């Protein structure tokens, strides 16, 4: 299922060009479409968009700006995947580094990292994400050579990547604390290996399995968080499509145009379900005894 | 008037006009026979949210004003008439219009004799100064309208509620009130007619009186204020015998706050409530247009919706690019984003206001027609601006978001590389009003404070440009416009200077200094019980509750 969703997302430009004959952000408010031999307004004079036509153009209907919902759904999948995978990669890299440092060095380093994690853990992730998303959207990000405009996809990506670190760093720290007492680490230390060498040469290979189990769950979590942030106006910004923004826009016309909300909602459910199944399969394959879940 | 969140358009829009050009199918008010109505009885109404205040010194929304207007009366007021007839100040509690002397800097009025508040206490000339003091002391949104009075700023700086405002003198024995201004101000008679300047008794505390509104001199009195759940208007038996203040036809008009737009729409369609302030939405609006014969109509308001084009920044520092934008705007498409509750327009000034002269033909084509994309692209090419990057600013509130997306798409269609930039609604106008933001173009709108062109022209007056909190978002700084405004804004005889305002409006459009696309419409929706054809839609205060009457 997840592979199918990825393939659909990758094929979005082909669908848009050859089937729907539009782009994800092309407005068509005063346009018309032929449905069953009858010319119909894409958006009526009352501002009500057309519902599903079950044909190439406007398969799932239009939004209030006359944009093709099916096309935006597929492009939304691309954005969701990009953000979720990239954010999870950021989470993973930061989580591994922080977990290794805290678990291996212990003492002051562990205290600083663990208390920082506690602070992050204490703030509701969604609240933190919304606060960061809204404030960064105004002025963008300027950190030395790094410059992002307020509507860049990288802003929600970085936010989700950073706020997700606690989910990985804490369990990895525990794993590293256990591993650092193992004989193979003692042996490396006796041979004069440096701290970084032991961490990345000896301990890291032994935590890869845990990371692999966590990865799909983190991706699923990132997909949900991205959708929530976008729904609340703090994630992906117009004209870029996102399932979260599509649900938010559809909510206002949910009685007359339920497809606008149901379609992205269904995609979200399928994606998260399939990622959870993947995560479960990975866990079964690597370590059937492990019990892994993301606590919020 | 403050700019408004979309769902509150019905609550806050400051004006609406007789122009029923866009009437829905339900408008049969033009019939020759008047519905027989009775005097007395009770009607009910729904509002989406409680008015900002039910205190005349503080309320600055039309939701509040349309209630306060029928409960309080200033020295000047407006006739309870539709269209231009209701747009000109007439004597309210004053015997006649002010005598303006000293080069426009002194206003003298005389209070009518024998006036009483709704509680039976006498109205005194000195109550006027107290009423203005409350506006200033409570830091009301309306303070700015009275700071031109001599001593007003000193009063504010002093911070003492009971201190004197030296520019206002009142003689309770003769009823004569004299107001001295620092500078001549042609709009001051309109400020005197605003609800802020309504007279309240001199013992009214310097505090928000929404929970217990003070006695007034209107057709109704406000009673039964129930937290934020609702309030009731009851006929004022002590109403002064003044032509400009009509007798209320109803005994009671009871308002309840109902947040659900769907329930409001359902109840008005099913005659379970007599009146709703906000327009129905979505399918219910469509249903109202088709099915609510004789109890639904749409009214174009004195508002302007426009795209600002920052004349200080490329590519809009080029006249050809600005004109191209005007050629390229698809106004009927934008109207659909407002559920059809927008009248496409060419002028910057709204209709049915002195100073408005319809630009016909519009230099950029029929506002109700298709945009001239070929001409727009040609101008963009000639200006060498093809592919120029443009950020179109807007906020995340309902229609504004969709409109901003559509505006960016329409700029793309004429050859600019445009992207929308949506920010949070509560910080939007501060953000684009800060010069550091360098906002190139974006969504803007304005609803009148009073029916005077100066109340719109300050948005394009070079003298109003500021570094922060700038409301001249396009930094329009045209020498002709600036010098003309400096002169005509001082003239209190609006009829005399109206043609010059019209000329400035034309110049704005010809030079492409703004890109207006329409005037917002509101709806009047009542139950079958109300004599719909007798309800007056006032150009400033919207629905006139004194004209509500039950059918016989």
Main-chain dihedrals φ then ψ at residue B98, nearest 5 degrees? -65, 150
Alpha-carbon gap: B391 to the closest alpha carbon of chain A (Å): 11
Is the pLDDT confidence value at B411 over 70? yes
> What CATH code is carried by the domain that includes residue A89?
1.10.3720.10
DSSP letters for B253-298:
EEEEE---HHHHHHHHHTTSSSEESSPP-HHHHHHHHHH-TTSEEE
User: Per the structure, how many domains does chain B have?
Assistant: 2
A47 part of a folded domain? no
Percentage of chain B lying above the pLDDT 70 cut: 94
Asked if A47's CB is within 8 angstroms of B424's CB, the reply is no
Average pLDDT of chain B? 92
Asked if A29's CB is within 8 angstroms of B406's CB, the reply is yes
State the average pLDDT over residues A212-230. Answer: 92
Asked if B427's CB is within 8 angstroms of A30's CB, the reply is no
pLDDT band at residue A74 using 50, 70 and 90 as cut-offs: very high
B15 part of a folded domain? no
**Residue from A32, A41, A66, A238 to probe the interface with B (highest B Cβ count within 10 Å):** A238
Candidate from B332, B422, B427 with C-beta closest to A238 = B422
Is the pLDDT confidence value at B15 over 60? no
Q: Which residues pair with B220 in a beta bridge?
A: B235
pLDDT the model gives residue A289: 62
Asked if A150's CB is within 8 angstroms of B282's CB, the reply is no
Are the CB atoms for B118 and B271 separated by under 8 Å? no
Burial of B133 (0-12, 13-18, 19+ CB in 10 A): buried
Our CA dihedral for B451, B454, B459, B465, rounded to 10 degrees, sits at -150
Q: Which residues of B touch A45 (CB under 8 A)?
A: 336, 340
Half-sphere exposure of A96 (CA within 13 A, CB side): 20
Identify the residue whose tokens are 């122009």: B19
* Integer angstrom CA distances of residue A11 from A5, A80, A165, A239, A240: 10, 15, 31, 20, 17
pLDDT band at residue A121 using 50, 70 and 90 as cut-offs: confident
Is the pLDDT confidence value at B9 over 90? no
Asked if A29's CB is within 8 angstroms of B424's CB, the reply is no
Both B205 and B317 in a single domain?
A: no
Record the pTM: 0.86
Rounded to 10°, the helix A154-163/A204-231 angle is 130
Both B379 and B491 in a single domain?
A: yes
State the average pLDDT over residues B96-122. Answer: 96
Both B445 and B320 in a single domain?
A: yes
Are the CB atoms for A60 and A70 separated by under 8 Å? yes
Minimum Cα–Cα distance from A251: chain B residue: B398
Q: Which residues of B touch A27 (CB under 8 A)?
A: 333, 405-406, 409-410
Q: Which residues of A touch B390 (CB under 8 A)?
A: none
**Residue from B7, B283, B371, B402 to probe the interface with A (highest A Cβ count within 10 Å):** B402
A117 part of a folded domain? yes
User: Tens of pLDDT along A12-30?
Assistant: 999 999 999 999 999 999 9
A233 part of a folded domain? yes
ipTM: 0.84
Is the pLDDT confidence value at B344 over 60? yes
Rounded-to-integer distance, Cα A111 and Cα A115, Å: 6
pLDDT band at residue A75 using 50, 70 and 90 as cut-offs: very high
Domain range holding B106? 62-219
Is the pLDDT confidence value at B238 over 50? yes
Burial of B330 (0-12, 13-18, 19+ CB in 10 A): buried
State the average pLDDT over residues A260-282. Answer: 90
Q: Which residues contact B279 (CB under 8 A, 6 or more apart)?
A: B9, B10, B285, B339, B341, B522, B523, B525
Alpha-carbon gap: A286 to the closest alpha carbon of chain B (Å): 45
A84 part of a folded domain? yes
Are the CB atoms for B235 and B89 separated by under 8 Å? no
**Residue from A72, A142, A239, A245 to probe the interface with B (highest B Cβ count within 10 Å):** A239
Asked if A252's CB is within 8 angstroms of B340's CB, the reply is no
Q: Which residues of A touch B369 (CB under 8 A)?
A: none
Asked if A65's CB is within 8 angstroms of B406's CB, the reply is yes
Asked if A27's CB is within 8 angstroms of B410's CB, the reply is yes
Asked if B398's CB is within 8 angstroms of A255's CB, the reply is no
Q: Which of B366, B355, B360 is nearest to B503 (CA)?
A: B355
User: Tens of pLDDT along B269-299?
Assistant: 999 999 999 999 888 899 999 999 899 999 9
Rounded to 10°, the helix A154-163/A69-105 angle is 40
* Tokens found for residue B550: 């039950």
Both B214 and B311 in a single domain?
A: no
Candidate from B339, B402, B427 with C-beta closest to A46 = B339
A131 part of a folded domain? yes
* B419 touching chain A per CB within 8 A: yes
Long-range contacts of A242-247 (CB under 8 A, 24+ apart): A242/A76, A242/A79, A242/A80, A243/A73, A243/A76, A243/A77, A243/A80, A243/A267, A243/A268, A245/A76, A246/A63, A246/A69, A246/A72, A246/A73, A246/A76
SS3 for B161?
A: coil
Q: Which residues pair with B441 in a beta bridge?
A: B309, B392
Q: Which residues pair with B420 in a beta bridge?
A: B392
Of B190, B219, B248, which one is at a domain's C-terminal end?
B219
Is the pLDDT confidence value at B348 over 90? yes
Is the pLDDT confidence value at B1 over 80? no
- Largest alpha-carbon pair distance within chain B? 72
A72 part of a folded domain? no
Main-chain dihedrals φ then ψ at residue B223, nearest 5 degrees? -135, 175
Domain range holding A167? 77-238
User: Tens of pLDDT along B44-74?
Assistant: 999 998 999 999 999 998 889 999 999 999 9
* Integer angstrom CA distances of residue A223 from A82, A167, A228, A296: 10, 15, 9, 15
Q: Which residues of A touch B423 (CB under 8 A)?
A: 137-138, 150
Asked if A252's CB is within 8 angstroms of B419's CB, the reply is no
Both B176 and B83 in a single domain?
A: yes
Query: In this structure, how many other beta carbons lie within 10 angstroms of the beta carbon of residue A108?
Result: 8
Both B450 and B326 in a single domain?
A: yes
User: Per the structure, how many domains does chain A have?
Assistant: 1
């Amino acid at each position: 299922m997840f592979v199918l969703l990825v393939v659909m997302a990758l094929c979005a430009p082909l669908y848009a060009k050859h089937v729907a004959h539009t782009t994800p952000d092309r407005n068509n408010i005063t346009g018309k479409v032929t449905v069953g031999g009858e010319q119909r307004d894409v958006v009526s004079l009352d501002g009500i968009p057309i519902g599903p036509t079950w044909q190439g153009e406007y398969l799932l209907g239009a939004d209030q700006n006359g944009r093709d919902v099916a096309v935006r759904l597929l492009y939304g999948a691309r954005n969701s995947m990009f953000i979720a995978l990239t954010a999870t990669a950021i989470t993973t890299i930061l989580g591994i580094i922080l977990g290794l440092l805290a678990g291996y060095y212990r003492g002051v380093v562990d205290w600083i990292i663990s208390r920082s994690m506690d602070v992050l853990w204490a703030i509701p992730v969604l609240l933190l994400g919304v606060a960061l998303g809204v404030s960064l959207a105004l002025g963008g990000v300027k950190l030395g050579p790094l410059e992002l405009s307020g509507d860049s996809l990288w802003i929600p990506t970085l936010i989700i990547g950073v706020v997700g670190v606690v989910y990985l760093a804490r369990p990895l720290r525990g794993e590293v604390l256990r591993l650092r007492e193992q004989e193979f680490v003692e042996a490396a230390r006796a041979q004069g290996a440096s701290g970084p060498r032991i961490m990345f040469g000896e301990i890291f290979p032994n935590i890869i399995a845990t990371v692999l189990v966590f990865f799909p769950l983190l991706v699923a979590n990132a997909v949900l968080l991205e959708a929530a942030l976008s729904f609340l106006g703090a994630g992906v910004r117009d004209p870029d499509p996102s399932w979260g923004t599509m649900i938010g826009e559809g909510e206002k016309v949910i009685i007359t145009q339920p497809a606008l909300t149901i379609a992205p909602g269904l995609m979200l459910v399928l994606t998260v379900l399939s990622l959870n199944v993947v995560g479960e399969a990975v866990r079964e394959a690597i370590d059937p005894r492990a019990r892994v879940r993301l606590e919020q | 008037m403050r700019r408004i969140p979309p769902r509150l358009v019905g609550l806050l829009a400051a004006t609406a006009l007789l122009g029923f050009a866009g009437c829905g199918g339900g408008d049969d008010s033009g019939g020759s026979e008047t519905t027989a109505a009775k005097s007395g009885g009770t009607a009910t109404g729904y509002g989406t949210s409680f008015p900002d205040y039910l205190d005349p010194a503080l309320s600055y929304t039309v939701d509040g004003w349309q209630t306060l207007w029928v409960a309080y009366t200033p020295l000047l007021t407006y006739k309870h008439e539709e269209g231009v007839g209701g747009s000109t100040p007439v004597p309210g509690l004053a015997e006649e219009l002010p005598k303006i002397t000293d080069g426009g800097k002194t206003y003298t009025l005389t209070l009518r004799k024998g006036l009483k508040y709704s509680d039976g206490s006498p109205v005194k000339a000195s109550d006027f100064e107290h009423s203005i003091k409350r506006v200033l002391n409570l830091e009301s949104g309306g303070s700015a309208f009275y700071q031109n009075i001599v001593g007003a700023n000193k009063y504010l700086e002093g911070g003492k509620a009971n201190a004197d405002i030296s520019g206002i003198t009142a003689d309770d024995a003769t009823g004569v009130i004299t107001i001295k201004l620092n500078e001549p101000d042609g709009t001051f008679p309109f400020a005197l007619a605003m609800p802020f300047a309504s007279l309240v008794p001199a013992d009214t505390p310097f505090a928000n009186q929404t929970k217990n509104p003070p006695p007034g001199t209107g057709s109704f009195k406000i009673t039964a204020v129930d937290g934020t759940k609702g309030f009731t208007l009851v006929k004022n038996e002590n109403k002064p015998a003044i032509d400009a203040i009509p007798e209320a036809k109803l005994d009671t008009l009871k308002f309840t706050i109902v947040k659900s737009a769907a329930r409001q729409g359902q109840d008005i369609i099913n005659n379970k409530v007599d009146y709703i302030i906000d327009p129905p939405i979505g399918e219910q609006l469509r249903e109202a247009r088709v099915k609510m014969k004789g109890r639904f109509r749409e009214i174009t308001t004195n508002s302007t919706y426009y795209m600002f084009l920052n004349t200080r920044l490329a590519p809009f520092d080029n006249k050809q690019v600005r004109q191209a934008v005007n050629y390229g705007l698809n106004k009927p498409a934008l109207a659909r984003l407002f559920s059809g509750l927008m009248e496409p327009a060419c002028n910057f000034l709204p209709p049915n206001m002195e100073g408005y002269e319809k630009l016909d033909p519009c230099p950029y084509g029929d506002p109700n027609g298709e945009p001239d994309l070929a001409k727009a692209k040609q101008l963009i090419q000639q200006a060498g601006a093809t592919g120029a990057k443009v950020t179109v600013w807007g906020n995340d509130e309902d229609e504004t978001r969709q409109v901003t997306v559509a505006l960016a798409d329409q700029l793309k269609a004429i050859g600019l590389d445009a992207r929308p930039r949506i920010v949070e609604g509560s910080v939007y106008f501060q953000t684009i009003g800060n010069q550091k933001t360098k906002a190139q173009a974006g969504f803007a709108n304005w609803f009148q404070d009073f029916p005077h062109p100066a109340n719109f022209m300050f948005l394009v007056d070079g003298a109003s440009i500021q570094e922060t909190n700038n409301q001249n978002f396009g930094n329009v700084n045209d020498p002709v416009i600036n010098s003309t405004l400096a002169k005509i804004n001082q003239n209190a005889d609006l009829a005399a200077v109206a043609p010059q305002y019209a000329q400035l409006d034309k110049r704005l459009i010809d030079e492409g200094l703004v890109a207006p696309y329409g005037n917002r419409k509101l709806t009047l929706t009542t139950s079958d019980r109300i004599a719909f054809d007798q309800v007056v839609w006032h150009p400033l205060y919207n629905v006139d509750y004194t004209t509500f009457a039950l059918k016989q």
